[in-house]
Structure 1
Amino acid sequence: MASSKSFSILSLLLFFASVSFCYATSRFTHHPAFPPQSSKAERLIRSLNLFPKETFNIIDSDHLHSFVPGQIVEKNFSFLAHSGPSVEDLGHHAGYYSLPHSKAARMFYFFFESRKNKNDPVVIWLTGGPGCGSELALFYENGPFHITKNLSLTWNDYGWDQASNIIFVDQPTGTGFSYSSDNSDLRHDETGVSNDLYNFLQAFFKAHPEFVKNEFYITGESYAGHYIPALASRINQNNKMKKGIHINLKGIAIGNGLTNSPIQYEIYPEFALQNGLITKNESDDISKLIPNCDKKAKACESRGGTICEDALDACEAIFDRILSIVGDLNYYDIRKKCVGPLCYDFSNVEKLLNEEKVKSALGVRKELKYVSCSRAVYDAMLQDTMRNLEVFLPGLLEDGIKMLVYNGEKDLICNWLGNLRWVNAMNWSGQKAFRASPTLKFVVDGAEAGTLNSYGPLAFLKVHDAGHMVPMDQPKAALQMLERWMGGKLMNSTLDN
């Protein structure tokens, strides 16, 4: 373990500017500035105004001699001024994990101990993309800090470290500060992704044995709707086979996720019509694209391979048609207009995270360039997108693993209607009882903050006045959601506690 080090926020400002997308390829094709021959990922990254010189972070092969598979190198750090709490008091860590089954891949992560009690659950947060780093969530959603307009850091009163010991990971390889010396270390499917995350967690708990007994929860949003089921299933199966360190998995929470892609693509016309974004005639016309989407999605599920990219193109045509009608609507939050190519202004990310002082404090190599959204990771996962990851979830529910699916009601991309549709369609022993469950109020500060349906280990929460990023739009409600859910009190949503 490296020696501890602190630095002042007066000169160090960290921020991350990638949106955790549901899946954003077609979301940007309506911008005429991008030539049709450009790759999907190139259109995405250029739309973000974050087009890296390298496809993903590569370190020269002479770095290979120091690569020790399975090793964690971690250091303590502080974002606070020297007059603030000590590094030891804060329990803030940043580190690299050298991935087994790779040539030289290293996974970067942040770990923030609970502000209240180290016996609080351990939560891992996975940002989507695929290929977008975890720093957006860390600084603009549920991490310990927020970034202010004058580029300083302030405490986030509703950070999830108020109720948990939380890990933020840059993954898959090539995302954020994660890197390799070999392009072959890119991952292409959820098998590779879940293997890396499982191996990381094994090493993490070995390095932090004091947290092994704590309850463990997997959370995330957007494309993490793919990552989370695969990782949870892997942990659960290995626990049952008594392989490795027992990870005390108690639940998973998917926020505005992409989980059952075919169902979620097919629901777009209905959601757009219900919210007055398109007319009935337009909805009927767009819906004619659904059979082709469904046909190719089924072929993808049975055959895999390049047919999955064909399925993605066919299903994206549905969303493209809606975008051609709604114009400058913010498709992450339909209450707003889209300002700038991303609909939110996160343009300072690479300049800030590439500050040498920042990288030094976090233990990041000087020559490493921060990659906010990796074009290579995005392309590598194209055939994964249309796979239905819901298939992993019934087994978890039958084993008593809690599952929360939550959605900001104003998100179009990963909208609540599509998520509720696949949740209702999921075949498990409690399916009928869940579908018949009463809709309860989710109350925060005496006011209805959302609606809840639940049965047994499964809960679905629709959050009012929130878009794609619920912890950013409704931070207090999001924290209370997490606390009540982990504490087994979410069913008491009509109580303002």
Structure 2
Amino acid sequence: MKASSPTFLSLFLLLLLLLSPLPSVVALLRAPPRLPSVSAEKLIRELNLFPNQPINIVGDSNRLHAAAPRIVERRFKFPNVIDPRGVSVEELGHHAGYYQIEHSHAARMFYFFFESRNSSEDPVVIWLTGGPGCSSEMALFYENGPFTIANNLSLVWNEYGWDKVSNILYVDQPIGTGFSYSSDRRDIRHDEKGVSDDLYDFLQAFFKEHPHLAKNDFYITGESYAGHYIPALAARVHQGNKAKEGIHVNLKGFAIGNGLTDPAIQYGAYADYAMDMGILTQSEHDRINKVLPVCETAIKLCGTDGTISCVAAYIVCNTIFSSIFARAGNVNYYDIRKKCEGSLCYDFSNVEKFLNQKSVRGALGVGDIEFVSCSTTVYEAMLVDWMRNLEVGIPALLEDGIKLLVYAGEYDLICNWLGNSRWVHAMEWRGQKAFVASPEVPFEVDGAKAGLLTSHGPLSFLKVHDAGHMVPMDQPKASLEMLKRWMEGLLSKSTTDSGTLVSSI
């Protein structure tokens, strides 16, 4: 039976309500949950995005590379780049490509690869944007990619692009997102096994295409719903390495920015954070939190592999967030310092305008494939995955010496620092007691405090000052320093000269 079956879901919700304390039931009925389709549409509209398609499922006649090799990659140069240096395509080292997913029916994954501006021996970093269902081009052009988009749709070099310290990959995933596509709806993914298997197969093909990079250190990064993707991919890569499945991927660490990883703990922090930040009064906080026992019970039933129970948990638990948001008014829940004007919280529309230009599409070799900035279909397909706990696989990675950095901008509500800090501190692993006992120390950039850091062994938690949900966009210099120092094992190092840590463009 499908997880979305209304009969089974209704019965499950009814049973959950009957097993719950009466005040929780009353509070839940006062705050009816928003339907997933409405939530997905709201997510997209608030970013001023208007994709033409809900997902990239194309007809066979539109297939780009029916008989092509498994990976098709080209060097390219974006048109309209403001570049006084006149660098050639070869010198630039920018690549765009499609990977034919091995364990799929007809799926092809699109990616960008930008060689390091510093050295080919720099680590390889993969960035995963969340949503679920939003393209990694969102981060590429608005957060930590080589360029930012000007209002006239020209590209300006980003002084703090992460390609200054790494060879960086941006992947459109899960399938149907961005320029990734399939001609078979069976390739739509519903859980982290499908997502991480696709990404692992992509990495195998990528390192086969670029064997000189396989020896480099490898790091997995991303934000938001990638709090699910990242630990799942880290575990998949580690599993593949231990089983000697293919090319050894030199995994050294993974970093989660303002992510959703352990929903039971993080949903429990929503009302606390909102009250601490003055969004809720004590009485409002207490009333909303009456739903929390129902939410926690639902998440427990979901576990790590539930289906209908996980959709029920999503519906129940999101009444907590929707109740807070209803009281917050027009506050931008990605950055509570800001206001949303009507339905618009950010204007990321230039990414759609830029990538839909004929000259850009020609340079990238995407043919007639639509750019789906954020996919409502992918969002809804991942509902059974939303409330699953992805923290459970992390301790084994830490025990094997693979580093984890969890960082969070202090003004984000939706994946707030408080909930992230709580699950990191609650995680049971060999170094837990020492981590919990470790003091907070300032994270300094150019002699100024940019955040608060707690670390022990392979685990680090960083609360980033003056940032919301998208830390690399709000604090570009600090986020670049964070990445470089973390990869070098110097995250707690203070500096008064960032130029000594970050090479010039």
| TM-score by shorter chain over 0.5 | yes
Change in Cα spacing, 1:52 to 1:489, as seen in structure 2 (3 Å) is closer
2-side partners of 1:483 and 1:407: how far apart? 17
SS in 1 for 2:190: coil
CA apart distance, 1:363: 0.9
Which residue in the other structure is 2:317 paired with? Answer: 315
Which residue in the other structure is 2:71 paired with? Answer: 72
Which residue in the other structure is 1:22 paired with? Answer: none
Are 2:298 and 1:299 aligned? no
2-side partners of 1:155 and 1:478: how far apart? 17
Q: Is the Cα–Cα contact under 8 Å of residues 144 and 161 in structure 2 kept in the other structure?
A: yes
CA apart distance, 1:101: 1.7
CA apart distance, 1:143: 0.5
1:230 counterpart letter in structure 2: A
Q: Is the Cα–Cα contact under 8 Å of residues 441 and 494 in structure 1 kept in the other structure?
A: no
Map 1:66-465 to 2 at 5 A.
Answer: 66-67=65-66, 71-79=70-78, 80=81, 84-301=86-303, 304-365=306-367, 367-465=368-466
1-side partners of 2:346 and 2:155: how far apart? 19
Provide, for residues 201-248 of structure 1, a one-character-per-residue CA deviation record: whole Å limited to 9, x for no partner: 000000000101100000000011000000000111111121100000
1-side partners of 2:436 and 2:139: how far apart? 32
1-side partners of 2:425 and 2:495: how far apart? 23
2:485 counterpart letter in structure 1: R
CA apart distance, 1:136: 1.3
Q: Mark the runs of 5 or more structure 2 residues left unpaired by the alignment.
A: 1-33, 499-505
SS in 2 for 1:288: helix
SS in 2 for 1:289: helix
1:204 counterpart letter in structure 2: F
CA apart distance, 1:36: 7.1
CA apart distance, 1:302: 6.4
Instruction: Report the more deviating stretch, 298-307 or 374-383.
Output: 298-307
Which residue in the other structure is 1:17 paired with? Answer: none
CA apart distance, 1:355: 1.6
2-side partners of 1:228 and 1:36: how far apart? 26
SS in 2 for 1:373: coil
Q: Is the Cα–Cα contact under 8 Å of residues 442 and 494 in structure 1 kept in the other structure?
A: no
1-side partners of 2:36 and 2:82: how far apart? 49
Change in Cα spacing, 1:208 to 1:275, as seen in structure 2 (3 Å) is same
SS in 1 for 2:227: helix
Greater fraction helix: 2
Which residue in the other structure is 1:25 paired with? Answer: none
SS in 1 for 2:256: strand
CA apart distance, 1:345: 1.3
CA apart distance, 1:352: 2.6
Provide, for residues 370-412 of structure 1, a one-character-per-residue CA deviation record: whole Å limited to 9, x for no partner: 1111111111101100000001100100000011001111111
CA apart distance, 1:336: 1.1
Which residue in the other structure is 2:467 paired with? Answer: 466
Q: Percent identity?
A: 64
CA apart distance, 1:59: 2.4
2-side partners of 1:302 and 1:231: how far apart? 15
2:176 counterpart letter in structure 1: G
Provide, for residues 402-456 of structure 1, a one-character-per-residue CA deviation record: whole Å limited to 9, x for no partner: 1100111111111000000000111100001000001111111111111100000
2-side partners of 1:81 and 1:442: how far apart? 33
Are 2:477 and 1:476 aligned? yes
SS in 1 for 2:176: coil
Change in Cα spacing, 1:115 to 1:65, as seen in structure 2 (3 Å) is closer
CA apart distance, 1:61: 1.7
CA apart distance, 1:99: 0.6
Q: Is the Cα–Cα contact under 8 Å of residues 305 and 388 in structure 2 kept in the other structure?
A: no
2-side partners of 1:76 and 1:308: how far apart? 43
CA apart distance, 1:300: 0.9
2-side partners of 1:121 and 1:221: how far apart? 19
1-side partners of 2:163 and 2:95: how far apart? 13
Provide, for residues 349-376 of structure 1, a one-character-per-residue CA deviation record: whole Å limited to 9, x for no partner: 33332222111100101x2111111111
SS in 2 for 1:322: helix
CA apart distance, 1:124: 0.3
SS in 1 for 2:443: strand
Instruction: Report the more deviating stretch, 130-139 or 338-347.
Output: 338-347
Change in Cα spacing, 1:66 to 1:477, as seen in structure 2 (3 Å) is closer
Normalising by structure 2, we get a TM-score of 0.88
Which residue in the other structure is 2:58 paired with? Answer: 59
Which residue in the other structure is 1:490 paired with? Answer: 491
Change in Cα spacing, 1:227 to 1:302, as seen in structure 2 (3 Å) is closer
Instruction: Report the more deviating stretch, 233-242 or 169-178.
Output: 233-242
2-side partners of 1:343 and 1:65: how far apart? 35
Q: Is the Cα–Cα contact under 8 Å of residues 109 and 168 in structure 1 kept in the other structure?
A: yes
1-side partners of 2:90 and 2:202: how far apart? 23
2:55 counterpart letter in structure 1: F
CA apart distance, 1:347: 2.6
CA apart distance, 1:152: 1.8
SS in 2 for 1:254: strand
Q: Is the Cα–Cα contact under 8 Å of residues 467 and 475 in structure 2 kept in the other structure?
A: yes
CA apart distance, 1:275: 1.0
SS in 1 for 2:414: coil
Q: Is the Cα–Cα contact under 8 Å of residues 96 and 364 in structure 2 kept in the other structure?
A: yes
Provide, for residues 158-177 of structure 1, a one-character-per-residue CA deviation record: whole Å limited to 9, x for no partner: 10011000000000000000
SS in 1 for 2:444: strand
Q: Is the Cα–Cα contact under 8 Å of residues 339 and 345 in structure 1 kept in the other structure?
A: no
Change in Cα spacing, 1:247 to 1:458, as seen in structure 2 (3 Å) is same
Change in Cα spacing, 1:303 to 1:119, as seen in structure 2 (3 Å) is closer
1:399 counterpart letter in structure 2: D
Q: Mark the runs of 5 or more structure 1 residues left unpaired by the alignment.
A: 1-34
Change in Cα spacing, 1:151 to 1:46, as seen in structure 2 (3 Å) is closer
